[in-house]
Amino acid sequence: MEDISVLICDDSALMRNLIGRIIDGTPGMKVVGKAMNGQFAVEKVPLLKPDVMVLDIEMPVMNGIEFLKKRKEMKWDFPVIILSSVATEGAAVTMQALELGAADFLTKPNGSTSADLSSVADRLTELLSSYGCQYARRHGRDVYPPEFFHQQAKMRRAEQLVVEKKGGDFLKGSSTASSPLLNRTTTPSLTERSSISSISNTARPVLDTKKPSFTWTPPAKKDPVTITPMRQGGRIEIIAIGISTGGPNALREVFRDLDPKIKQPILVVQHMPAGFTTEFANSLNRICPLQVQEANDGDVLKAGNIYIAPGNYHIFVEKRGFNYVVRLSQAEQRNGHRPSADVLFESVAKEFQNRALGVIMTGMGRDGAAEITEMRKQGAWTLGQDEASSVVYGMPKVAWEMGGVQKQVPLREMAANINKMAIEHANA
């Protein structure tokens, strides 16, 4: 197996070093180069030919937005993951980056605690492995699938829980010399020395460049369970979509081609942090013939409107009088997520039974799989994204194996399938 190759572009030597150690400490992945701004990255791309790139937004000489414009001009197609602190304060800039072709994003941690660094490391690894694997395989390279890296993360979290139960700190316990912020080949700046001092006195993340041994066996493929619905599919009165990793650009492709004649309200769970979904909805609204908005608690569902679940809130539907309304909740996470596709699908199955269309698309894990299966049992119509077009064939795979998906379709045909079903089954 070959390693997924990663190019890092960040103006901070501290961050380049930290990100590099996360990547080089992950079996199946390697850093092929680093750049301190977008101009250096432009010069390195033709030589290094990365599978995926980590890109900061705020940089001198050429910033991240300017690099993405140059990437588009050069017709480079490798995926770019935005990792930036400006993403939190400037959601509009982050959405601009996605519109210019960035694949996904995450924010740099505000603090320097071990929990912050661990969280970023796991999410960064997930994004790099998911997008990098898809790109590398599309170009004929033999690399590990996203599940390989997902299993590593699960093992790390399990190990962390064991250590914490014994009263220890999973990311402490190493000497100062082993800290990725201290074990450097360049002299840190005054600001970086201050950061290093605070981290060495609190949390010392162990992100060793020596790759640990890791044994992984690919999961066996399962034939889908046969489900006999309780009732035949009826008139479609609502459409519910669950999606995760790979979702921002997948939704752009689907929403761009939706038919303006669609009359059903559409509710969407896209796993995304708080503070971004308003701008995300606005960016989708600019390209979609239907009205797209971030959902508010109590919104009456309107025909042909699309409601995006706010970050950090579950979304579900509830009947109130003669109308159906959006409800939001900050109840506990489901399947590790809030919003959770399972929460949305569960409410649709309960309120609409066979009068609904459920769609489950690219994403890591199994969120949405159990409850879209329940929707199918109730007689609802269901679609799932196919393996070849999914950035991560996790959520739709589990749903397919559970019998919850009637038909698997590639991303390029998803909008056409939704249009056809929504219009044909608008009336009983």
pLDDT tens for residues 206-224? Answer: 444 455 566 667 777 788 8
| Cα-trace Rg, the chain | 22
CA distances from 170 to 125, 151, 161, 292 (A): 18, 18, 8, 43
Prior bond of 248 cis (ω within 30°): no
Please give the pLDDT value at position 118: 62
Q: What is the mean pLDDT of residues 400-428?
A: 95
Please give the pLDDT value at position 152: 82
CA distances from 426 to 52, 255, 365 (A): 42, 19, 32
Q: What is the mean pLDDT of residues 286-302?
A: 97
Catalytic residue among 12, 114, 118, 244: 244
Ranking 72-86, 114-128, 294-308 by mean pLDDT, the lowest is 114-128
**367 is annotated as an active-site residue:** yes
Catalytic residue among 10, 24, 51, 367: 367
pLDDT tens for residues 338-360? Answer: 999 999 999 999 999 999 999 99
**Residue showing tokens 């919850």:** 404
CB 368 within 8 A of CB 401: no
Helix, strand or coil for residue 123? helix
What tokens were used for 129? 């492995």
Residue 368 burial (CB count, 10 A): 36
CB 290 within 8 A of CB 306: yes
**271 is annotated as an active-site residue:** yes
Share above pLDDT 90 across residues of the chain, in percent, rounded to a whole number: 72
In angstroms, the CA 55 to CA 68 distance is: 9
Please give the pLDDT value at position 243: 98
pLDDT of 168 above 70:
no
**179 is annotated as an active-site residue:** no
Q: What is the mean pLDDT of residues 276-281?
A: 94
Q: What is the mean pLDDT of residues 254-262?
A: 97
Please give the pLDDT value at position 173: 41
pLDDT tens for residues 75-113? Answer: 999 999 999 886 556 789 999 999 999 999 998 876 544
Q: How far apart are the first and last CA of the chain?
A: 53
Average per-residue pLDDT in the chain? 87
pLDDT of 182 above 90:
no
Of 176, 184, 178, 164, which Cα lies nearest the Cα of 207? 178
Q: What is the mean pLDDT of residues 134-152?
A: 91
- If one compares 264 and 213, the residue with the highest pLDDT of the two is 264
Q: What is the mean pLDDT of residues 369-392?
A: 97
Please give the pLDDT value at position 383: 98
Catalytic residue among 3, 10, 51, 271: 271
pLDDT of 203 above 60:
no
Q: What is the mean pLDDT of residues 42-49?
A: 98
Please give the pLDDT value at position 111: 55
